[in-house]
């Protein structure tokens, strides 16, 4: 159950605030370069950007999935160690990883993670089971089944993707 102070005030059905985003928004979005949805409070780099206003508690993705939670925490730590702080956009079907834009996403499975990262180039590796071209980025799809999957090679891709997400 969500406490009263975790709900957005205003008319209509109450919506949960994105209580997962850390660090605070003023620390990760340059002033004047963001837009906050008035309905759900999510922050985007462009005004009026399309999105789902539904905010899902992070823990909902990991109910009865402790192994997937361990892998998620290892993935998030690897991203922050290689790149820097991120915020999360937690939706019903995925967890978006955001610097300035969403540069990675994870879909939680019973005991592993499916995901994708954005790169400005195509990285050829058997570790990517699919690569889609979506100019100006290449979307690289992967699975994380063991912490060892987050090795030096994968971390280099995470840093590269973080740089894409930070807009550097």
DSSP for 125-155, please give it. -TT-SEEEEETTEEEEEEEE-SGGGS-HHHH
pLDDT at position 8 is: 37
> Which one, of 1, 4, 3, 6, lies nearest residue 17 by Cα?
6
Q: In the predicted model, what is the mean pLDDT of residues 74-103?
A: 92
pLDDT at position 89 is: 86
Q: Is residue 3's pLDDT more than 70?
A: no
pLDDT tens track for 94-126? 999 999 888 999 999 999 999 999 999 999 999
The span from the CA of 90 to the CA of 84, in Å, is 19
The span from the CA of 146 to the CA of 124, in Å, is 21
Which own/partner pairs from 138-142 qualify as long-range (CB within 8 Å, at least 24 positions apart)? Answer: 140/116, 141/114, 141/115, 141/116, 142/114, 142/115, 142/116, 142/117
pLDDT at position 40 is: 76
pLDDT band at 39 (very low <50, low <70, confident <90, very high): confident
pLDDT band at 45 (very low <50, low <70, confident <90, very high): low
> Which one, of 103, 95, 121, 119, lies nearest residue 45 by Cα?
103
Q: What is the pTM of this model?
A: 0.74
Q: Are 100 and 45 in contact (CB under 8 A)?
A: yes
pLDDT at position 157 is: 98
pLDDT band at 33 (very low <50, low <70, confident <90, very high): low
The span from the CA of 51 to the CA of 74, in Å, is 27
pLDDT at position 51 is: 72
Q: Is residue 68's pLDDT more than 50?
A: yes
**Backbone CA torsion sign across 134, 115, 42, 26:** negative
């Amino acid at each position: 159950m969500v406490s009263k102070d975790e709900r957005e005030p205003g008319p209509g059905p109450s919506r949960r605030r994105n209580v997962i985003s850390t660090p605070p928004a003023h620390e990760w979005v340059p002033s004047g370069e963001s837009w906050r949805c008035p309905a759900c409070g999510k922050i985007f780099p462009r005004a009026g950007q399309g999105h789902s206003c539904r905010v899902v508690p992070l823990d909902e993705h990991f109910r009865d999935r402790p192994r997937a939670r361990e892998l998620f925490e290892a993935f998030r730590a690897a991203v922050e160690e290689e790149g820097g702080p991120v915020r999360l956009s937690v939706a019903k079907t995925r967890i978006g990883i955001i610097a300035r834009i969403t540069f990675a996403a994870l879909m939680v499975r019973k005991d592993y993670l499916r995901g994708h990262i954005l790169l400005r180039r195509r990285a050829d590796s058997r570790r990517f089971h699919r690569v889609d071209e979506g100019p100006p980025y290449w979307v690289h799809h992967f699975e994380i089944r063991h912490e060892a999957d987050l090795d030096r090679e994968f971390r280099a891709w995470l840093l590269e993707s973080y740089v894409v997400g930070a807009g550097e």
